[in-house]
Amino acid sequence: MGELRLRDPGEIGVAILGAGRMGQTHIRTVAGIRNARVVVVADPDLAAAQRGQAVARAGRATAEPLEAIHDPAVEAVVIVTPTSTHATLIEAALRAGKAVWSEKPIALDLAETDRVVALWRETGIPVQVGFVRRFDPGYVRAKKLIEAGELGRIEQFRAYSRDTYPPPLEFLRTSGGAFVDMSVHDFDLARFLVGEVEEVQAWGSVLVDQRFAEAADVDTAATLLRFRNGALGVVEMSRHSAWGYDIRTEVAGSTGKVVVEAPQKTQATYSRRFGFEGDHYENFPDRFEVAFRLELEAFFRTLAEGGTPAPGPDDALETLRLALAATRSWREGRPVRLDEMTAGAPSGSPG
């Protein structure tokens, strides 16, 4: 990926597209990165863009993301806009020769994602996609143990995620559904930690809120995975959690096992009448506060040092394929092989 030429790897000019809640988080993070300098913040809501500009001490704000991409001082683009705009903005940036960091997913269907992957391959411009868990120190350690062979041959993968709050109704209909929007994080970990999946079988239920049924979606699900290397996996999800953000991931092999879980947010334990108690993380922003910084630091470090940022569009594509296969398996009530899922095939996503 040698196409990107930086004026000064120690001070990369950045456009941040999207100044909503998550955008503001990323703006603060980029502002604190040594070798990044925010040039412009773009959001159709110009006031939000200006708030971001002030936080980042950026030169200016704009309501036009494309205009920001084409600013000559901009060398890298950070995309935190609604999902439906990701592919278009990534393509615009690649055509303008700007490096890209984008929130996941690239798109909700394979055809559009394929198109971005093709352009990325053609241009050779670095693109990193925001699968944040890969940068959490716990998952990094799990990955290292596995790569060092400490687990032996991998036999089992298991993961569950319970989001604290169900998504708002308007988001629901464009989310891609339970598997594409939520289990996708665990599917990405499955691929990251174990390898490619051959076949899935997914079951779903509506237990939390009847609106999910109305949206042709589920709020509770479980998916069996068969990996190419023979290992079996299980991925479970729920759209709500009364006790806080609840995720746990395990990989078990012939000689060892690694568990990633952060059960206690505050390092204080209170003992009272014959028992003790502690607190859980509330939601992904507090659970992954550090990882949100680490993933962006890694992106800018890779830009400066050369190399291919990971996870890239190819990871986004394969993880999406897995999520769509699970969706189709749930809808059709049968096991689905990943090689069924091609861009030309009928979409498995709801709606």
State which of positions 28-47 bind its own copies (CB under 8 A): 28, 31-32, 34, 37
At residue 284, φ and ψ (nearest 5 deg) are -60, -30
CB of 214 to its own copies, least distance (A): 17
**Binders of its own copies in range 326-345 (CB under 8 A):** 333, 335
Closer to its own copies at the Cβ: 34 or 121?
Answer: 34
Q: Which residues contact 337 (CB under 8 A, 6 or more apart)?
A: 198, 199, 325
Q: Determine the angle formed by the axes of helices 21-31 and 46-56, rounding to 10 degrees.
A: 20
Size of the site for its own copies (CB under 8 A): 78
Residues 114 and 314: their CA atoms lie apart, in Å, by 9
Q: Which of 91, 45, 49 is nearest to 66 (CA)?
A: 91
**For residues 64-123, which are near its own copies according to CB under 8 A?**
none
Of 25, 88, 205, 302, which lies in the binding site for its own copies, with binding defined by CB under 8 A? Answer: 205
Residue 178 per-residue DSSP state: I
User: Is residue 274 within the footprint of its own copies (CB under 8 A)?
Assistant: yes
Interaction residues for its own copies, span 230-269 (CB under 8 A): 230-234, 236, 238, 240-244, 246, 252, 254-269
* x-marked contacts with its own copies along 160-199 as a string, rule CB under 8 A: x-x-------------------------------------
The answer to whether residue 128 forms part of the interface with its own copies (CB under 8 A) is no
Which of 136, 163, 181, 297 is the binder for its own copies (CB under 8 A)?
136
188 neighbors 249 (Cβ within 8 angstroms): no
Question: What does the buried/exposed string (b/e) look like for 298-323 if buried means 16 or more CB atoms within 10 Å of the residue's CB?
Answer: bbbbbbbeeeebbbbbbbbbbbbbbb
Give the HSE-up count for residue 74: Cα atoms under 13 Å, Cβ half-sphere: 30
Question: Residues 96, 119, 167, 203: which binds its own copies (CB under 8 A)?
Answer: 203
**In the set 119, 224, 298, 343, which binds its own copies (CB under 8 A)?**
224
| Shortest CB 206 distance to its own copies, Å | 8
